């Protein structure tokens, strides 16, 4: 369950960064699917990696 929470947190951070970039440039930021999907997978892979690292430290 922690991996899901961490993945959602990282996804929210990415969305906030894109929103900030949108405010700075004053235009809409659009991401094509071939950029969005790998970014999404990367964020969730980072969450899974972090959880695995935390488990190995505890274990």
Domain count, the chain: 1
Per-residue pLDDT band at 4 (split at 50, 70, 90): confident
- Residue 30 has phi, psi (to 5 degrees) of -115, 135
- Residue 29 has phi, psi (to 5 degrees) of -100, 115
Interatomic CA distance for residues 8 and 14, integer angstroms? 10
- Range(s) of the domain holding residue 26: 1-57
**pTM of the predicted model as reported, rounded to 2 decimal places:** 0.74
Closest CA to 3 of 59, 35, 45: 45
Helices and strands (H and E) in the chain: how many: 2, 0
Predicted pLDDT at 38:
92
């Amino acid at each position: 369950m922690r991996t899901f929470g961490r993945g959602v947190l990282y996804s929210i951070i990415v969305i906030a960064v894109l929103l900030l970039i949108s405010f700075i440039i004053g235009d809409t930021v659009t991401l094509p699917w071939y950029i969005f999907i790998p970014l999404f997978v990367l964020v969730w892979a980072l969450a899974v990696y972090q959880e695995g690292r935390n488990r190995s430290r505890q274990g």
